[in-house]
A and B are shown apart, each in its own frame.
Chain A
Amino acid sequence: MSHCLSGRSIDHVVLERGEVAHTWRTERWDSLRLLTPNWQSRVPGFGYNGNDPDGYRTLAEVIEFIASYAKVISAPVRTHTTVTSVRSTDAGYLVHTDQGDWLCRTIVLASGACNIADVPTFANRVPPSIMQLTAKEYRNPEQLADGGVLIVGASSSGTQIAHEIQRSGRPVTLSVGEHIRAPRVYRGKDLQWWMDAAGVLDERYDEIDDILRARRVPSLQLAGTPDRSTLDINTLTEIGVKLVGRLANISENGKAQFSGSLRNVCALSDLKMGRLLDRIDEWAQKNGLDDAAGPPYRLPPTRVEPAPPLGMDLTTGEVKAIIWATGFRPDYSWLEVPVLDRKGRLRHDGGVVSSPGMYLMGTQFMRRRKSALIDGAGDDARDVSAHLASYLGGHLARARALLED
């Protein structure tokens, strides 16, 4: 966004509460690799030119990538500047920070979609002897005592953390709700390559059926591993992870209750993956790629044992830790402008927030399916900065008209 604003000679600052790439530096587990391949980290005027385009950046490499980009484009970043409130004024917005105030005509909220870990309220009934961590707080298995671990959530974070902890020798029970299964590599290409090439990632927010629903879809169950292997629930079952249904409740006496819907959430996910692969196969055929890519195939269905456990006594000492990989929500507690709906979601039309001059960046399906990916920032920033520029232009025209009157 900063690059696009500079390109339009729009004077701006980028406020950052810590260092550039703060959340990558402070809120990620150690072994995390980017879920998208190196070639796909494309931002305006900057990309990957190393010799491993199909690899996945380590955490350190992601931080380096973002920090270098900030330098390359000379982004006017004010680090260690925490925004404490944003209010409307007659001329725009008043931004309070712990380093002084800013007045601006327009503002872009790029504070992220994953500020607060969404933990169910019944977590307060977890016995105090059990360590609880969110996916943001988890770093590595050594943080945990030896013993059983309950991981709640089987999207991208939950499955990766389950894999790592099970292999550390701590037996993992994985509570599985709705999730989106996906092969890492399909017909010789990264799934992201297919989704990019077939136009899936470019699908626009104003062209799909139910955008509010699309924005709630959990992240693809993908992992960036050096061997480009698929990490799905079957992989976890093979290494000994025990599957249970969605965690429905924890009772007063410390008993976890799991939903009996495990079979169906796995069926839904298998079917959804099948539809994505059907679409890719259709596109490949239409574009004459069948010979190069080899024949289509399907992954075996997710295996679910006949009667998965419906409960777990958390007071026996068997489970030493619970990791909540139950998703995130943005923190808008500092935003004192009435732009949230009754569910606390920002009201916006493709990143144009309902308060004039306010814009959004970097949230799930903001303008395109890829909006939350690094690769989605460029197109979104071009669109949003164009709107912002015309809004400022309108401001100028009105100001001139006033002067001429």
Chain B
Amino acid sequence: MAETGSSVNNGVNVAALIAAREALTNAPSATQFKWRAACEWKDGTHSHSTVESYYGLDQEHHHKKTFTFDADHPEVFASEDKGATPVEYVLVGLASCLTAGIAAIAQYRNIQLRSVTATIEGDMDIQGILGMDDEVRNGFGGIKVTYKIDADAKREDIEALVAQSQKRSAVYDIVTNPTNVTVVVS
């Protein structure tokens, strides 16, 4: 359990997370969440997405404001580059998920973080998406994340934070394991 009176502050309320875990043990329905986004085509490859509501703890919730995301393809694909490409959003999702995990686990383990930066790179052979070669997948061939972390801890403890963050990360799970996807036209 988290030590009380800890002087470490990474801005993560670990006590609340631990309390939630205890409370949810006997409330199986409350743990069922639904995350949502809406997407609207603008023009060309440009689309505009919004994230506003989600469901969990047996009720509807709203973000403090509606978050918006423009996605497009870059000029090398003869597009207008009005936003990040969708695959870059995947990289953003993975890096931000792992980084949030690092902060939370560091708090739990009483490790004060001073700075955490990550660069993330996904390799892609576009023969897949262009339909040039059926043996090349559409998605990333591999993803590499590189962390630079300055913290009050030994190197092994920092490596353990990063490893544990992968173990508990939703987006890491989503990109490393298969997910059933159903797309319908209403």
Give the interface of A toward B (CB within 8 A). 178, 209, 245, 248-249, 257, 259-261, 264, 267-268, 271, 274-275, 306-307, 342
Interface residues of B, count at CB 8 A: 16
Q: How far is the CB of B148 from chain A (nearest CB, A)?
A: 17
Residue of B nearest to A245 (CB): B176
Residues of chain B with a CB closer than 8 A to A245's CB: 176
* Chain B 153-186 per-residue mask, 1 if CB under 8 angstroms from chain A, else 0: 0001001100110110000100111100000000
Given A209-B1, A261-B172, A307-B142, residue A267 in contact with residue B177 (CB < 8 A):
no
Which residue of B156, B163, B178 contacts A264 across the interface (Cβ within 8 Å)?
B163
Residues of chain A with a CB closer than 8 A to B44's CB: none
Which residue of B28, B142, B156 contacts A342 across the interface (Cβ within 8 Å)?
B28
Main secondary structure of the interface of B (DSSP, over half): helix
Residues of chain B with a CB closer than 8 A to A257's CB: 177-178
Report the bound CA distance from A274 to B142 in whole Å: 28
Residues of chain B with a CB closer than 8 A to A248's CB: 177-178
Residues of chain A with a CB closer than 8 A to B178's CB: 248-249, 257
- Does B141 lie at the interface of the complex (its beta carbon under 8 Å from any beta carbon of A)? yes
Report the bound CA distance from A307 to B141 in whole Å: 9
Evaluate contact between A259 and B176: CB separation under 8 angstroms.
yes
Report the bound CA distance from A260 to B142 in whole Å: 9
Given A271-B156, A307-B141, residue A264 in contact with residue B175 (CB < 8 A):
no
Report the bound CA distance from A307 to B142 in whole Å: 8
Evaluate contact between A271 and B1: CB separation under 8 angstroms.
no
Residues of chain B with a CB closer than 8 A to A271's CB: 156, 159-160, 163
Main secondary structure of the interface of A (DSSP, over half): mixed
Evaluate contact between A267 and B176: CB separation under 8 angstroms.
no
Evaluate contact between B28 and A267: CB separation under 8 angstroms.
no
Q: How far is the CB of B181 from chain A (nearest CB, A)?
A: 13
Report the bound CA distance from A351 to B175 in whole Å: 41
Residues of chain B with a CB closer than 8 A to A275's CB: 156, 160
Residues of chain B with a CB closer than 8 A to A306's CB: 142
Report the bound CA distance from A209 to B160 in whole Å: 18
Evaluate contact between B167 and A264: CB separation under 8 angstroms.
yes
Evaluate contact between B166 and A264: CB separation under 8 angstroms.
yes
Among B141, B160, B176, the one with the most A-chain Cβ atoms within 10 Å of its Cβ is: B176
Residue of A nearest to B172 (CB): A261
Given A259-B177, A260-B175, A274-B156, residue A267 in contact with residue B163 (CB < 8 A):
yes
Evaluate contact between B1 and A267: CB separation under 8 angstroms.
no
Evaluate contact between A268 and B164: CB separation under 8 angstroms.
yes
Q: How far is the CB of B143 from chain A (nearest CB, A)?
A: 8
A-B contact pairs, 7 of them (CB 8 A): A245-B176, A248-B177, A257-B177, A260-B175, A264-B167, A268-B164, A275-B160
Given A271-B156, A274-B156, A307-B142, residue A261 in contact with residue B163 (CB < 8 A):
no
Residues of chain B with a CB closer than 8 A to A259's CB: 176-177
Residue of B nearest to A246 (CB): B177
Residue of A nearest to B166 (CB): A264
Residue of A nearest to B156 (CB): A274
Residue of A nearest to B160 (CB): A271
Residues of chain A with a CB closer than 8 A to B167's CB: 178, 264, 268
Report the bound CA distance from A306 to B175 in whole Å: 17
Among B28, B141, B166, the one with the most A-chain Cβ atoms within 10 Å of its Cβ is: B166
Evaluate contact between A260 and B176: CB separation under 8 angstroms.
yes
